[in-house]
Chain A
Amino acid sequence: DQQVKQNSPSLSVQEGRISILNCDYTNSMFDYFLWYKKYPAEGPTFLISISSIKDKNEDGRFTVFLNKSAKHLSLHIVPSQPGDSAVYFCAASAREDFNKFYFGSGTKLNVKP
């Protein structure tokens, strides 16, 4: 069962514009969410996270929004840069199961110069 879903396999954005990557989850027990970025031939790299007690977390050009009622989170990248081109995974974890992370299938972002 896919508890974390990323329904857009790919996204193409012009340099300087906003990139919005979406993620949905089904398990209401999830209380911590993370975004990872993955370049080819490398492991995923932690990007940004958010706890369920918050609805927004910012780190430079990256902002994650969490809508608990809709079980939806999104990652905003502003402004997008060509170096942001990568596969982005969202992941979720539940407090009582905190060692176990559930990942979405990823969205491949292409930022065009």
Chain B
Amino acid sequence: DAGVTQSPTHLIKTRGQQVTLRCSPKSGHDTVSWYQQALGQGPQFIFQYYEEEERQRGNFPDRFSGHQFPNYSSELNVNALLLGDSALYLCASSMGQGNYEQYFGPGTRLTVT
């Protein structure tokens, strides 16, 4: 049973560019949450997708957007990249909304130069 998978593993982008990160949830899970983890800090909630809609959002600007597909996989898009967007981006999946038990993927390390 595959857990949560994320791609790519690492990514280097230039300031001002756009990036798309991908996440496949654990089998049987239908809810995907995205987190940003800056160096030396804990994960910060970006948003959560359920039934292909954004259900909750953290304190992130509109440059951060997402999408969930009918197969429950999800994308995180970040436009107009800033140096401060450099971080580890974690995807977590769960079964249904309000399920506290989340399974995290290994993350995508984004470096903005």
User: B105 to A43, Cβ gap below 8 A?
Assistant: yes
CB under 8 Å from chain B, chain A span 54-113: 89, 91, 93, 97-106
Q: Known contacts A99-B33, A99-B98: does B42 contact A43 (CB below 8 Å)?
A: no
Is the interface on chain B under 10, 10 to 19, 20 to 34, or 35 or more residues? 20 to 34
Q: Is the CB of A46 within 8 A of B103?
A: yes
Interface presence of B48 (CB below 8 A): yes
Q: Are A44 and B90 in contact (CB under 8 A)?
A: yes
| Residues of the B chain whose Cβ atoms lie less than 8 Å from the Cβ of A43 | 4, 90, 92, 103-107
Q: Is the CB of A34 within 8 A of B104?
A: no
Residue numbers of B with Cβ under 8 A of A are 4, 33, 35, 40-45, 48, 55-56, 58, 90, 92, 97-98, 100-107
